[in-house]
C-alpha cells in the first residue's frame, strides 16, 4: 500500500495569504447577527463529540478485540461461546461480547509448535529482510545518482519509475511467474520472492530517498570535492551518514510492505514449507479449512509488531506526503 | 574530409551487418537445431508406440492367457531392441500380470498384487480407461489414450490400454531407451550466409565511402536485401534437411514395424497376419491411437506431406529485429550510445543495479504481459512461442464486444456476472461508494478531533488510526469470519433483535455490503489523517475573525475549512480512488467474488482468469484494459485538478 504513495501528485501549497484576504472580505460582508461561543453550547458540543468518537472507537476496536478473543479462547471455533440448542437473548448477547469463556494460551502454543507457522514466520522474516537490504542498496545508489549527478536519461529514468507504479499487478504477475519460475527456476523459493519484492519496492524507495538527498546542502560535498574526494567517497562518507534517518524510515516501509504482501507470495509459493506468514494465515481459514483459533493467534503474532511499527512511522508517511507536496 | 571520417560508414556497415546477420542467422540456426531435436524425439516416440501397440496386440491375442502371459511378454522383449522393461497391469484386483523389470523378476515375481509404491501404475490404468471411454462417448480425441513419460534415468515409458473381452481392464506399459540421434545444423552454411549479409552491406558503404549519407543508407538497404536473401536461402536449406531427416525417421519406423511384425508372429503361434489389429503399419499411431497415416498396412512408406516452415510467423519478427539492429549500428546509434555511456559511466554505474532489476522484473514483465494479451496463451500451450499462439486483437474484441450483460433464462432476465461490463460497473460502484464513505467518515472524525481543548485527543487519534496499521489481508479475513453464516458475530447481533441470520455471501447485495463494511473500516483513517494535517494548518485567527463577524458554522465550514482542505484532499481522493479500484485483498479474501462472480472487481477477475482458469492471454488482455482505464483516469484527473487549481 505504501508503495503507491510515490504516485501521489504534488499538492500545491495553498496560497494562504490570498485566501485570508478573500475570506476576510467575505466575512466583512456578513452581518454579525448573533453572539456565538456561549459556554453552554460549547459543553454540548464536547459531549456530542465524545459520543461520536466513542462510537467510532467501538467500531474500530471491535474486530480487533474479536480476533484477540478468538486467539485466547483456546479453541478453533469462530464462535466466542458455544450456544445451547435454544439460546436465550442473554446467551446471544454473551456470544457477541468479545471476552472468551475461558482464557487459554493454547492456540499460541500449538500454532508455533504443532503447526508449521514458526517456519512461515521465519520465511516471512527472511524474505522481508532480504528484500529490504537488497532493495535499499539498489535504491540508495540510484537515488544518489538521480539527486546529484547529471546524465542523459535522468528525467526519463525518474519518470519511468513513476509510471511503473501504475502497472497493474495482475498484468505483471503472469510474466513475472514465467521469468521467476520458468526461466530462473525460482518457484517456491525465498530468493525468487526476495528479488520480486526488492525490485517492486525500488521506485518508492528511490523517490523517497531522492527527496531526502535533495535537501542535504551541497556545501558539504563541495568541501569534500576540494579535498579531493571521489564520487564514491562522497556517497559513502558524506551522503549516507547524513541520510541515516531517511534510510531507516525507507527501510522500515519496505520491510513492512514485504511483510504484509499477500498475492505474489500466494501465487509463487506452492510448497507448504515455503509459505510466508500471510499465505499461511489464509491457509488456516481458506477453502474448507476452519482453524480460526490458529488463524487468530497467528494473526496477532504477525500483525502486532508491524502495527506498532506503523503507529510510530505514520508520522513520517504523512509528513512525507505533505512535505513532498509543499515543495511541489 | 579526413580518411578517418570517410572510413566510418564502412566500419559501421561491417559491424552492423555482422551483428544483424549473427542475430538473424544465429536464431535461425538454433530454431533448425530445435526442429531436428523435436524430430528425433518424435521418432523415438513413434518407435516406442509401435512397440507398445505390437505388445498390446500380442497380449490381447486370443491365444494368450494369464498363465502364458509372462512367458509371451518375455519372449517378445528378447526379440525387440531398445526395450528395457514391460508391464501388464489389471485394474480388477490391482494385479501385476507380467513384468520384465529387473526388480520384479528377482524380488517380487509377477503375477502379484501391486504394491503401495506402485499406485501410480494403478492410477494411470484407471486414467487411461476413463480417457478411452470419454473419447468414445464424445466421438473426438479429447484425452490421451497413450501416456508418454520421460523417465528420471533417461528413456521414456509408453502406456496404453489393455483390452480383455472388449472392455478395458488394465494397461500395457513399455519402457524404452532413446535411440534417435538428432542431426546438427551445419555451422558452415550459417557462417557463409552471415558473410553474405556482411558482403551485401559493405559494398555500397565502400563504393560511396566519400559521400557518407549515400554510403550509410546504401549499407542499410543492401544489408536488408542481404538479410532477406540469407534468411530465404537458410529456409530452403532447412526445409530440405528436415525433409531428409523426416524421411529417415519414416524409414526407421517402417523398419521397426516390420521387425515387430516378425517378433509378434514368432511369439504367437499360428497365422497372425490375417488379423486386422496385427497389421504392422497400423501400429504407427499418435497418442489418441489414431493412425498417423505415414505407413500402409504392410509398413511401406507413403509420400510425405509438405513440410511446414521451420520458423512460421516468427521469421518476420526475426527479420525486423535484425534490420533494427543493422540500421541502429550503421546510422551511428550505438556509437552515440557508447559515447554517452563512457562520458557518464559513474552515474550509470550507480543506477545500473536499479535499472537491471527493474528491467528484468518490472519493465520486461509489463511488455511481455502486453505481448501475451495478443495471444491465446494458456497453461497448456505456455511453452509455445508467441508467434504460434498469436491471435491479434481477438482477446480484446472478445472482452469489449461482448455485450451479453443480461441473458434470458428460465426465471426471467439474469445478469451475466462474468461479463466485462458487469464487472466494470461493479468496480465503479465499489470505488465510488468506498471513497465516499472514506471521505465522509474521515473528514467528520478530523473535524471533531479538531475541536479545541477536547479531552483524550491523542488517545482517540491513536485508536482511530489502527485500521490503517493492521495489515489489510488480516482485516479482510477477520471480517470474513465475523460475517460467517452460522457462527459469525454479525448474525448473532441480528438474532438478538429477533431477525433471521443472513447468508451474507449468497446474495450480490449483501455480499457487496460485507466487502463495503470491511473496506470502509480499513480506509477511513487515511482520509482522517490527511484531513487532520490540513485542518491544523488553518490559522486559528481566521475562525476567530469569522466568529467576530458573526459567520454561522456552516458559513465558516464552506468559506474557510473546505477551501483549506482541498489541496490536501484532492490528491488523497485521487490516490484513494486508485487504491480502492485495485483493492485486490478485500474482494479476494472477503467475498471471493461470491455469489458466482457477482462481486468480482476488475483486478480479481483478471487474476481468476489467469490463475484459476489459466487463460494467460485473455487475462493479460483484461489487465491491459484495466491499465488503460487507470491511465485515462490519471490523465483526466490530472487535467481536472490542474483546471480547478488555476
Cell numbers for B125, please give them: 490404468
Chain B residues in contact with A4 (beta carbon < 8 A): 575, 578-579
Least confident of A280-284, A312-316, B41-45, B391-395: A312-316
Q: CB B422: neighbour CB atoms within 10 A?
A: 20
Mean pLDDT of A228-255: 87
Indicate if the pLDDT at residue A288 is higher than 80: no
pLDDT tens column, B247-283: 888 888 888 888 888 888 888 765 554 455 567 778 8
Indicate if the pLDDT at residue A25 is higher than 70: no
Chain B residues in contact with A292 (beta carbon < 8 A): 481
CB proximity A226 to B under 8 Å: no
Contact between A202 and B463 using a beta-carbon 8 Å cutoff: no
Taking the C-alpha atoms of residue A71 and residue A77, their distance in angstroms, rounded to an integer, is 10
Chain B residues in contact with A314 (beta carbon < 8 A): 465, 468-469, 529
Cell numbers for A288, please give them: 474448507
Phi/psi region, residue A272 (left: phi>0; alpha: psi -120 to 50; beta: rest), is alpha
B437 vs B168: which has the higher pLDDT: B437
List the Cα angle A74/A77/A78 in 5-degree steps.
120
| Prior bond of B600 cis (ω within 30°) | no
Strand partners, B83: B176
Nearest to B361 among A31, A169, A179 (CB): A179
Phi/psi region, residue B61 (left: phi>0; alpha: psi -120 to 50; beta: rest), is beta
Tell me what percent of chain A is helix, strand and coil, each rounded to the nearest 5. Answer: 75, 0, 25
Q: Which of these, B43, B42, B48, lies nearest to B172 by C-alpha position? A: B48
Q: CB B21: neighbour CB atoms within 10 A?
A: 29
A317 to chain B, minimum CA–CA distance in Å? 10
Q: B388-391, long-range: CB within 8 Å, 24+ apart, which pairs?
A: B388/B312, B388/B313, B389/B617, B390/B313, B391/B617
Q: Which of residues 246-285 of A touch B (CB under 8 A)?
A: 259-260, 262-263, 267, 278, 281-282, 285
Contact between A169 and B363 using a beta-carbon 8 Å cutoff: no
DSSP letter (8 states) at residue A179? I
DSSP letter (8 states) at residue A32? -
Contact between A60 and B521 using a beta-carbon 8 Å cutoff: yes
pLDDT at res. B440 = 93
> CA dist B180 to B36, B45, B515, Å?
11, 10, 60
Cell numbers for B289, please give them: 491411437
Mean pLDDT of B486-499: 85
CB proximity A171 to B under 8 Å: yes
- Who contacts A169 (Cβ-Cβ below 8 Å, separation ≥6)? A263, A264, B582, B584, B603
Q: What is this model's ipTM? A: 0.81
Q: Which stretch, B326-330, B332-336, B394-398, has highest mean pLDDT?
A: B394-398
Residue of B nearest to A34 (CA): B550
A6 to chain B, minimum CA–CA distance in Å? 10
DSSP letter (8 states) at residue A149? -
Contact between B563 and A14 using a beta-carbon 8 Å cutoff: yes
Mean pLDDT of B127-154: 83
Residue of B nearest to A57 (CA): B464
Q: Which of these, A291, A267, A266, lies nearest to A277 by C-alpha position? A: A266
pLDDT at res. A134 = 94
Q: CB B451: neighbour CB atoms within 10 A?
A: 15
- Who contacts B286 (Cβ-Cβ below 8 Å, separation ≥6)? B49, B146, B292
Indicate if the pLDDT at residue B144 is higher than 50: yes
Nearest to B611 among A11, A172, A267 (CB): A267
Indicate if the pLDDT at residue A326 is higher than 70: no
Contact between B353 and A33 using a beta-carbon 8 Å cutoff: no
Contact between B455 and A50 using a beta-carbon 8 Å cutoff: yes
Contact between A166 and B441 using a beta-carbon 8 Å cutoff: no
pLDDT at res. B191 = 93
Q: Which of these, B86, B59, B77, lies nearest to B268 by C-alpha position? A: B59
Taking the C-alpha atoms of residue B428 and residue B451, their distance in angstroms, rounded to an integer, is 35
Cell numbers for B616, please give them: 494467460
> CA dist A119 to A104, A111, A279, B47, Å?
23, 11, 12, 49
Chain B residues in contact with A186 (beta carbon < 8 A): none
Helix, coil or strand: residue B110: coil
Nearest to B492 among A96, A282, A285 (CB): A96
Contact between B619 and A174 using a beta-carbon 8 Å cutoff: yes
pLDDT at res. B513 = 93
Cell numbers for B98, please give them: 507380467
Indicate if the pLDDT at residue A206 is higher than 80: yes
- Max Cα distance, chain A (Å): 86
Residue of A nearest to B492 (CA): A92
Mean pLDDT, chain B, whole residue set: 84
The number of angstroms, rounded, from the C-alpha of A43 to the middle of its chain's C-alpha atoms is: 38
Mean pLDDT of B291-312: 74
Nearest to B549 among A30, A170, A278 (CB): A30
pLDDT tens column, A126-167: 999 999 999 999 999 999 999 888 888 888 888 888 778 777
Sign of CA dihedral B538, B541, B545, B550: positive
pLDDT at res. B317 = 78
A and B: number of Cβ contacts within 8 A: 313
Contact between A141 and B354 using a beta-carbon 8 Å cutoff: yes
Residue of B nearest to A138 (CA): B354
Taking the C-alpha atoms of residue B70 and residue B528, their distance in angstroms, rounded to an integer, is 81
B612 to chain A, minimum CA–CA distance in Å? 11
Cell numbers for B62, please give them: 486370443
How much is the CA Rg of chain A, to the nearest whole Å?
26
Indicate if the pLDDT at residue B81 is higher than 90: no
Nearest to A179 among B365, B521, B545 (CB): B365
Taking the C-alpha atoms of residue A272 and residue A188, their distance in angstroms, rounded to an integer, is 9
CB proximity A172 to B under 8 Å: yes
Mean pLDDT, chain A, whole residue set: 80
Task: Report the residue of B342, B345, B355, B362 to disrupt the A interface, i.e. the one with the largest count of A CBs within 10 Å.
Answer: B362
pLDDT at res. A51 = 92
Cell numbers for A139, please give them: 535504491
Q: Which residue has the cell 466485462?
A: B420
> pLDDT > 90: what percent of chain A?
19
Indicate if the pLDDT at residue B587 is higher than 90: yes
Helix, coil or strand: residue B413: strand
Taking the C-alpha atoms of residue A168 and residue A200, their distance in angstroms, rounded to an integer, is 12
Chain A residues in contact with B448 (beta carbon < 8 A): 49, 52-53
DSSP letter (8 states) at residue B373? T
Nearest to B474 among A144, A299, A314 (CB): A299
Task: Report the residue of A8, A25, A29, A53 to disrupt the B interface, i.e. the one with the largest count of B CBs within 10 Å.
Answer: A53
Chain A residues in contact with B472 (beta carbon < 8 A): 1, 260
Indicate if the pLDDT at residue B193 is higher than 60: yes
CB proximity A217 to B under 8 Å: no
Chain B residues in contact with A8 (beta carbon < 8 A): 571, 574-575
Indicate if the pLDDT at residue B379 is higher than 90: no
Contact between A164 and B546 using a beta-carbon 8 Å cutoff: no
- pTM here is 0.70
Binned at pLDDT 50, 70 and 90, residue B83 comes out as confident
Nearest to A167 among B547, B568, B627 (CB): B627
Residue of B nearest to A201 (CA): B358
Amino acid at each position: 500500500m505504501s508503495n503507491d504513495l510515490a504516485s501521489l501528485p504534488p499538492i500545491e501549497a495553498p496560497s494562504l495569504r490570498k485566501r485570508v484576504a478573500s475570506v476576510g472580505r467575505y466575512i466583512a460582508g456578513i452581518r454579525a447577527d448573533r453572539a456565538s461561543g456561549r459556554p453552554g453550547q460549547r459543553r454540548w458540543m464536547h459531549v456530542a463529540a465524545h459520543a461520536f468518537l466513542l462510537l467510532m472507537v467501538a467500531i474500530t476496536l471491535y474486530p480487533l478485540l474479536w480476533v484477540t478473543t478468538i486467539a485466547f479462547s483456546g479453541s478453533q471455533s469462530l464462535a466466542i461461546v458455544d450456544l445451547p440448542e435454544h439460546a436465550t437473548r442473554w446467551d446471544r448477547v454473551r456470544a457477541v461480547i468479545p471476552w472468551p469463556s475461558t482464557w487459554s494460551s493454547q492456540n499460541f502454543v500449538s500454532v508455533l509448535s504443532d503447526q508449521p507457522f514458526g517456519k512461515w514466520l521465519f520465511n516471512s522474516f527472511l524474505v522481508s529482510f532480504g528484500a529490504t537490504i537488497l532493495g535499499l542498496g539498489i535504491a540508495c545508489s540510484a537515488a544518489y545518482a538521480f539527486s546529484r549527478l547529471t546524465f542523459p536519461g535522468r528525467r526519463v529514468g525518474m519518470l519511468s519509475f513513476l509510471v511503473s507504479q501504475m502497472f497493474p499487478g495482475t498484468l505483471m504477475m503472469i510474466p513475472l511467474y514465467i521469468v521467476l519460475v520458468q526461466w530462473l527456476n525460482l518457484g517456491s523459493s525465498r530468493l525468487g520472492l526476495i528479488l520480486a519484492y526488492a525490485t517492486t519496492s525500488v521506485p518508492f524507495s528511490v523517490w523517497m530517498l531522492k527527496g531526502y538527498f535533495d535537501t542535504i546542502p551541497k556545501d558539504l560535498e563541495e568541501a569534500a570535492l576540494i579535498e579531493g574526494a571521489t564520487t564514491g567517497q562522497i556517497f559513502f562518507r558524506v551522503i549516507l551518514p547524513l541520510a541515516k534517518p531517511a534510510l531507516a524510515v525507507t527501510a522500515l516501509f519496505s520491510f513492512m510492505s514485504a511483510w504484509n504482501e499477500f498475492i505474489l507470495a500466494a501465487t509463487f509459493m506452492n510448497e507448504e514449507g515455503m509459505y510466508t506468514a500471510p499465505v499461511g494465515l489464509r491457509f488456516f481459514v481458506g477453502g474448507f479449512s476452519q482453524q480460526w483459533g490458529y488463524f487468530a493467534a497467528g494473526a496477532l503474532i504477525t500483525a502486532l509488531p508491524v502495527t506498532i511499527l506503523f503507529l510510530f512511522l505514520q508520522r513520517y508517511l504523512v509528513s512525507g506526503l505533505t512535505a513532498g507536496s509543499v515543495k511541489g | 574530409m579526413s580518411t578517418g571520417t570517410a572510413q566510418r560508414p564502412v566500419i559501421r556497415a561491417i559491424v552492423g551487418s555482422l551483428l544483424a546477420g549473427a542475430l538473424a542467422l544465429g536464431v535461425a540456426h538454433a530454431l533448425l537445431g530445435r526442429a531436428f531435436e523435436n524430430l528425433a524425439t518424435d521418432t523415438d516416440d513413434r518407435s516406442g508406440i509401435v512397440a507398445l501397440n505390437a505388445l498390446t496386440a500380442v497380449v490381447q491375442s486370443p491365444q494368450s492367457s494369464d498363465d502364458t502371459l509372462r512367458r509371451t511378454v518375455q519372449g517378445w522383449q528378447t526379440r525387440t531392441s531398445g526395450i528395457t522393461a514391460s508391464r501388464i497391469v489389471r485394474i480388477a484386483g490391482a494385479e501385476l500380470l507380467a513384468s520384465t523389470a529387473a526388480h520384479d523378476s528377482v524380488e517380487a515375481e509377477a503375477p502379484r498384487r501391486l504394491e503401495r509404491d506402485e499406485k501410480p501404475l494403478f492410477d494411470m490404468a484407471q486414467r487411461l480407461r476413463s480417457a478411452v471411454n470419454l473419447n468414445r462417448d464424445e466421438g473426438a480425441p479429447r484425452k490421451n489414450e497413450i501416456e508418454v513419460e520421460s523417465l528420471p534415468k533417461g528413456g521414456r515409458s509408453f502406456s496404453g490400454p489393455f483390452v480383455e473381452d472388449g472392455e478395458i481392464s488394465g494397461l500395457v506399459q513399455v519402457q524404452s531407451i532413446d535411440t534417435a540421434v538428432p542431426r546438427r545444423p551445419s555451422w558452415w552454411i550459417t557462417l557463409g550466409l552471415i558473410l553474405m549479409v556482411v558482403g551485401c552491406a559493405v559494398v555500397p558503404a565502400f563504393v560511396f565511402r566519400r559521400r557518407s549519407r549515400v554510403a550509410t543508407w546504401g549499407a542499410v538497404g543492401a544489408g536488408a536485401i542481404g538479410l532477406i536473401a540469407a534468411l530465404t536461402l537458410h529456409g530452403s536449406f532447412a526445409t530440405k534437411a528436415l525433409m531428409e531427416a523426416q524421411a529417415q525417421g519414416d524409414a526407421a519406423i517402417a523398419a521397426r514395424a516390420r521387425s515387430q511384425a516378425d517378433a509378434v508372429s514368432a511369439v504367437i503361434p499360428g497365422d497372425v497376419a490375417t488379423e486386422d489389429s496385427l497389421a504392422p503399419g497400423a501400429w504407427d499411431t499418435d497418442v489418441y491411437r489414431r493412425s498417423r497415416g505415414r505407413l500402409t498396412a504392410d509398413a511401406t512408406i507413403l509420400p510425405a506431406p509438405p513440410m511446414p516452415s521451420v520458423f512460421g510467423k516468427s521469421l518476420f519478427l526475426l527479420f525486423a529485429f535484425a534490420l533494427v539492429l543493422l540500421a541502429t549500428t550503421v546510422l551511428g546509434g550505438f556509437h552515440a550510445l557508447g559515447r554517452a555511456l563512457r562520458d557518464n559511466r559513474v552515474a550509470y554505474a550507480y543506477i545500473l543495479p536499479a535499472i537491471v532489476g527493474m528491467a528484468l522484473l518490472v519493465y520486461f514483465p509489463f511488455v511481455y504481459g502486453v505481448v501475451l494479451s495478443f495471444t491465446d496463451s494458456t497453461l497448456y500451450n505456455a511453452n509455445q512461442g508467441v508467434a504460434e499462439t498469436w491471435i491479434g486483437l481477438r482477446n480484446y474484441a472478445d472482452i469489449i464486444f461482448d455485450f451479453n450483460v443480461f441473458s434470458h433464462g428460465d426465471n426471467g432476465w439474469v445478469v451475466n456476472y462474468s461479463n466485462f461490463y458487469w464487472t466494470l460497473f461493479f468496480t465503479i460502484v465499489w470505488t465510488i461508494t468506498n471513497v465516499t464513505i472514506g471521505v465522509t467518515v474521515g473528514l467528520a472524525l478530523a473535524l471533531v478531533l479538531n475541536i479545541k481543548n477536547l479531552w483524550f485527543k491523542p488517545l482517540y487519534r491513536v485508536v482511530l488510526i489502527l485500521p490503517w496499521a493492521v495489515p489489510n489481508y488480516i482485516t479482510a479475513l477477520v471480517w470474513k469470519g465475523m460475517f460467517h453464516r452460522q457462527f459469525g458475530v454479525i448474525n448473532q447481533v441480528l438474532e438478538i433483535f429477533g431477525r433471521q441470520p443472513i447468508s451474507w455471501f449468497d446474495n450480490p447485495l449483501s455480499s457487496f455490503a460485507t466487502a463495503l463494511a470491511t473496506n470502509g473500516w480499513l480506509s477511513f483513517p487515511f482520509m482522517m489523517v490527511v484531513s487532520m494535517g490540513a485542518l491544523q494548518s488553518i490559522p486559528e485567527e481566521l475562525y476567530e475573525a469569522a466568529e467576530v463577524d458573526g459567520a454561522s458554522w456552516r458559513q465558516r465550514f464552506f468559506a474557510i475549512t473546505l477551501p483549506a482542505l482541498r489541496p490536501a484532499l484532492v490528491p488523497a481522493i485521487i490516490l484513494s480512488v486508485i487504491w480502492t479500484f485495485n483493492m485486490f485483498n478485500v474482494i479476494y479474501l472477503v467475498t471471493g467474488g461470491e455469489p458466482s462472480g457477482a462481486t468480482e472487481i476488475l483486478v480479481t477477475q483478471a487474476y481468476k482468469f489467469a490463475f484459476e482458469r489459466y487463460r494467460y492471454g485473455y487475462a493479460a488482455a483484461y489487465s491491459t484494459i484495466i491499465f488503460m482505464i487507470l491511465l485515462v483516469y490519471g490523465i483526466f484527473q490530472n487535467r481536472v485538478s490542474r483546471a480547478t487549481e488555476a
